[in-house]
Amino acid sequence: MLAGVAVLLVIVGTSVWLASRTRDQAEEVARARDMRTLSSNILTSLLDAETGQRGFLLTDVERYLQPYEDAKGRLSTDLEHLRILVTRDPGASRSIERLTPLVNAKLAELAETIALAKAGRRGTAFEVVNTDRGKGLMDEARRILEELIAANEARVASRMAYLDSAAKMLTLVTLAGGSLIVIFAAGAFWTVLRYARELVNARHQVETLNVGLERRVAERTSALARANDEIQRFAYIVSHDLRAPLVNIMGFTKELEVGTAALQKFVAAGSAETADLTEAAQTAANDDLPEAVRFIRASTAKTDTLINAILKMSREGRRELNLEPVDLEKLFASTAASVRHQVDEAGARFELAARAPTIVSDRVALEQIFGNLVDNAVKYLSPDRPGVIKVQVKETDRVQITVTDNGRGIAPQDHERIFELFRRSGAQDRPGEGIGLAHVRALVRRLGGDITVQSQLGEGAAFQVSLPKSLVLTNESYGPS
Domain 2-183 and domain 323-480 have a common topology: no
pLDDT classification of 28: cutoffs 50, 70, 90 = confident
Per-residue model confidence as pLDDT tens digits over 386-419: 899 999 999 988 999 999 999 888 888 888 888 8
Give the whole-angstrom CA distance, residue 19 versus residue 25. Answer: 10
With a cut of 80, say whether residue 378 has pLDDT above it. Answer: yes
Per-residue model confidence as pLDDT tens digits over 101-144: 888 888 888 888 888 888 888 888 888 888 888 888 888 888 88
Give the whole-angstrom CA distance, residue 9 versus residue 3. Answer: 10
Give the whole-angstrom CA distance, residue 150 versus residue 216. Answer: 14
User: Which option is the CATH number for 323-480: 3.40.50.1390, 1.10.287.130, 3.30.565.10, 3.20.20.80?
Assistant: 3.30.565.10
Query: Is 2-183 in CATH node 1.20.120.1730?
Result: yes
**What pLDDT sits at residue 476?**
42
* Extents of the domains making up the chain: 2-183, 232-318, 323-480
Q: Are 55 and 64 in contact (CB under 8 A)?
A: yes
Strands, E assignment, 340-455: 349-352, 358-362, 388-395, 398-405, 450-455
Between CA 326 and CA 335, with CA 330 as vertex, the angle to 5 degrees is 105
Which of these ranges, 12-16, 174-178, 235-239, 274-278, has the smallest mean pLDDT? 235-239
What is the pTM (predicted TM-score) of this model? Answer: 0.42
